[in-house]
Each structure stands twice: as structure tokens, then as C-alpha cells.
Amino acid sequence: MLDFSRFEILTFDCYGTLINWEEGILGCLHRILAAHRMNKDTDDATILKLYGDFEARAEAGEYRPYREVLQSVVRQFGERLGFTPTVEEVRSLPESLRNWKPWPDTVAALNLLRSRFRLAVISNVDDDLFATTQPQLGVKFDQVITAQQAGAYKPSLKIFELALSRIGIPAKRILHVGQSIYHDVIPAQSLGLATVWVNRPSPRAGVGAVKSAKGRADLEVSSLADLAAASAGETSGRNSSATIL
């Protein structure tokens, strides 16, 4: 069990962990696939797997803005499934991000955690896109570190190293919280941060809309509410033996 008294600041992945991005992703992609009559044989778990693979491919190599990454994801769906998305459809996925909503427990849990810790965000996103999400989260973060600022996407260590330099305290005093083993748990641990895996419900259980990877967090919870309770000693949580295959 984690000793929460050792931590001064909690850093959070945003999309997937604080925001129910799968609902937003699926809603947008279902509309595009239906317009091209590709939705009947493409279930949610398959869409999320393709999304995770396509996003990772688009984020590899030379940095480009997240808005362009999301546009590339739409184009890759067309290439894989044999249709040509319209200009409006290509733009619709990044434009939909402003409407992606927090998980029902996010705001209350963040406010509880805010009373005990400093809070920060480390997110694979553009600054202007996060600015549309920030008001929905209900707290003021001490630091917001984005892929745009780092010029790199998680799991690159560059974004975590930027966060460490901005936060300015030893890694052992930081707890990183994320929904993705691939993007968050593995790279954060490599720099000496303790980690929490938020195993959110998903049609693609245990993985979600990200690339799969093997890893083990220090603690696994099913929600931010569980994390807030564990930090207050109200529940035990569970030491994570999670392995994503």
C-alpha cells in the first residue's frame, strides 16, 4: 500500500484519466464510419484498438501538434477500412475534444485531493485544446505541462523531464496518476515517480483507447473517487499487479 504522506504533488494524465475521452472518441468516429457505411462490422473495442495504434503511430517521429495527430487518426481509419473521409470529417475529431466530458467522479475527487496535495497535469495535448477542457475540471492546477510545451508525446521522457523541472521537487515526492500503462506508468516509473493506474471501465477492458503495454503500477484503482478515498486512508486500494497484454 502506498504511503501517501510521502507525496507533495499528484500529477495527472488528463484524457482517459480525468476526461472520458472514449465516449468522445467513439461518438465522433461512429458518425464518420456510419456516413461511409463502415459501422456495422466495427465494434467499440475494435475502434478503440485501432485508435490506440493509429494515435501512437501519428505521435512517433518528429513532433507535430495534437490537432494534426487526431486528424491523422481519422485518415488512418479511412486507409484501413477503405474510405476517404471528407475535410470536415478529418477536422471533426479534434474539434470534438472541447465537448469531451469529465468522468462523473473527477471534479469531486480532484477537489478532495486538492485539499491534501498540490495538483498538476501532464497531458499529450495542445495548449489551446487543453484550455477548452480546463474549466470543466473544477480546480486550479499548480502546473500544466503539455506535449506542445515539451515538443514530445508521452511515453517520451521529455515531457516528464519538463514536468520535473517545473515542479522542482525530488521525484520521490511526486505521485503520477494515469489511465495508460504505456503512456504514463512505464515512463513515469523510469524516472523514479510512484504511479497509480486508474483502470477505468472500457469496451476494451484493461487497455482502453491506447497502445497496449506490459507494466505494473504501485497502486491500481478503478476511479478517482477510490484514489481520493485511499489517500485519506478510507480504503486500502490495492497494490497493482496489472499487466496489460
Question: Among the options 13, 126, 184, 226, which is catalytic?
Answer: 13
Q: Cell numbers of 27, please?
A: 461518438
What CA–CA distance (Å, rounded) separates 210 from 201? 13
DSSP readout, 117-151? SEEEEEESS-HHHHHHHGGGS-S--SEEEEHHHHT
Whether 8 contacts 169, CB under 8 Å: yes
The residue among 164, 167, 226 whose CA lies nearest residue 190 is 164
How many CA atoms lie within 13 Å of 233's alpha carbon, on the beta-carbon side? Answer: 4
How many CA atoms lie within 13 Å of 70's alpha carbon, on the beta-carbon side? Answer: 23
Q: Could you confirm whether 43 is annotated as catalytic?
A: no
What CA–CA distance (Å, rounded) separates 100 from 122? 18
- The catalytic residue positions are 13
